[in-house]
Structures are given as C-alpha cells and as structure tokens.
C-alpha cells in the first residue's frame, strides 16, 4: 500500500543517524507503513483514514486472514465490498492492496497477463507483518496526536500541487509547515518528505524517482527537509 520503498534506503540512514537511544519514532502520515517497517524500537504510526489503520492492524495482528489468491478474494467480492461500510478488516485491506495504484476504492487491479495480484502481495505482506510487530497504529489527524517528548518525527504528508489526494479533504499545507516549526521548537527532531518547502526549511537530501503510475509516467525529485532553527 503506497510506497516509500524506493527512497527508504537513501533517507533512513540520514534520519536514523539523528535518532537517540530509546527515542520514539513517530509517523503522523504512516500510509502503507513502508518506512516505519524498516525501523526498530518504539514506534507510532497515525493516519486519518480509519480503513487504512484497520488494514495495517490486520497485517500486524492477523496476517493469516489475508486471502492467498484471487479465488479466495474475487473481483466481485471487491466491488461488493466497495458499497459496504467496510467493517471487515479484510475488505479494508482489499480497498488498498487490490486496487489499481493502491488508490483507496479504486478499480480492481489487473493487467494483460492476468497476474493474480491477490497472490502476488502475500509474501510481502507476511514480511511486513513481522516488521511492524509492536508498532502502535492509531486513526488520528497529525494535529491531534499526543507525541512523546523529544521524539523523532518523520512526515510524509500529501504533496502540494499534486493530484494524488484528489479524493481527500483539502490539506492545509501552510498549517502543516507551521506545525513542523512548532514541533521542532518543542524539542522534537522533525523530517519532512516533499517536493518543495518554505524558505526556512533546508533540503538535506534529494533524488530523482521515476513515477510509473498511469499514463503520466515521469521523473520526480523527492526531497527530505528539516526546519532551520
């Protein structure tokens, strides 16, 4: 679900070099947990999407319930689940993992070769389940979370001027950057992934990542920022 896998190997060493022993690792925008699953120690992951949190808790606590192939979870089941309240965690998982582009409640994922994407994801999910044991997942806005003192905070917010979050509520980017400044001044170590940032934030890493989603395949320059105190 979602992915920071392609840049994790570049930015994690930078952030972990700043992490102190027993320091909490906090992600206010945990997404598919593709960064937090590569970190050890005390960890918290938050997201405003309750179905995403249910899916992550399913991966963490009951991975054996995840369907093994597209006979166990069919396209018809997927389409019917889209019309429900998604009270079943497996359906929550499906709305991301079996959806084209991992877009919540998107179209059933398929290709011309007839790839079984239900089966394809099982191995990676089982590995991730092992790696997120002990992570505290909660459904909360970044503005509401209670962060332990002197935590390391990694933010991967909705990127400004992109269409990736067109189905989500409007994200107030100015408010977010103010929040990052405040948390830094409170003693937290704050890192932000974005394409651009206000002038008082410094870019400490950047790299070109190829975006293969949809018809608009292009290269994007991912960056990691910190507030210049």
One domain, residues 144 and 205? yes
Q: Which domain holds residue 109?
A: 50-133
Cα of first residue to Cα of last residue in the chain, in angstroms, is: 34
Domain co-membership, 54 together with 44: no
Q: What SS3 class is residue 177?
A: helix
Asked if residue 86 and residue 7 are part of one domain, the reply reads: no
- Answer yes or no: do 65 and 40 share one domain: no
pLDDT digit string (tens) for 20-37? 999 999 999 999 999 999
Predicted local distance difference test score (pLDDT) of residue 101: 87
Cα within 13 Å of Cα(9), Cβ side? 3
| Total number of domains in the chain | 2
Residues 175 and 123 in one domain: no
Per-residue confidence band for 2, with pLDDT thresholds at 50, 70 and 90: very low
**Rounded Cα–Cα distance for residues 81 and 66 (Å):** 15
Residues 124 and 85 in one domain: yes
Last residue of a domain, one of 133, 158, 186: 133
78-117 residue pLDDT tens: 999 999 999 999 999 999 999 998 899 999 999 999 999 9
| Residues 10 and 67 both lie in one domain | no
pTM value is 0.92
Minimal CA–CA distance to 181: which of 204, 205, 141, 153?
153
Residues 119 and 228 in one domain: no
**DSSP assignment letter at 173:** H
Please report, for the domain that includes residue 174, its CATH number: 3.40.50.150
Q: Binning pLDDT at 50, 70 and 90, where does residue 229 land?
A: confident
Give residue 219's pLDDT: 78
In a shared domain, residues 44 and 55: no
* Same domain, residue pair 87 and 19: no
Last residue of a domain, one of 70, 103, 133: 133
**Which of 95, 113, 133 represents a domain boundary (last residue)?**
133
């Amino acid at each position: 679900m979602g992915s920071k896998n392609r840049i994790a190997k570049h930015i994690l060493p930078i952030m972990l070099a700043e992490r102190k022993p027993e320091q909490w690792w906090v992600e206010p925008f945990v997404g598919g947990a593709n960064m937090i699953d590569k970190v050890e120690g005390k960890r918290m992951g938050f997201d405003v999407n309750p179905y995403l949190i249910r899916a992550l808790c399913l991966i963490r606590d009951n991975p054996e319930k995840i369907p093994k192939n597209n006979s166990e979870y069919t396209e018809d089941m997927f389409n019917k689940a889209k019309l429900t309240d998604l009270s079943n965690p497996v359906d929550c998982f499906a709305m991301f993992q079996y959806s084209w582009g991992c877009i919540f409640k998107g179209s059933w994922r398929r290709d011309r070769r007839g790839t079984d994407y239900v089966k394809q994801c099982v191995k990676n999910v089982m590995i991730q389940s092992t790696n997120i044991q002990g992570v505290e997942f909660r459904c909360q806005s970044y503005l509401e979370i209670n962060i332990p003192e002197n935590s390391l905070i990694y933010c991967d917010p909705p990127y400004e001027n992109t269409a990736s979050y067109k189905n989500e509520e409007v994200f107030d980017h100015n408010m977010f950057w103010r929040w990052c400044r405040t948390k830094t001044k409170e003693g937290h170590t704050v890192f932000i992934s974005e394409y651009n940032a206000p002038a008082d934030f410094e870019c400490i890493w950047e790299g070109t990542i190829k975006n293969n989603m949809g018809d608009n395949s292009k290269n994007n320059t991912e960056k990691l920022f910190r507030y210049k105190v």
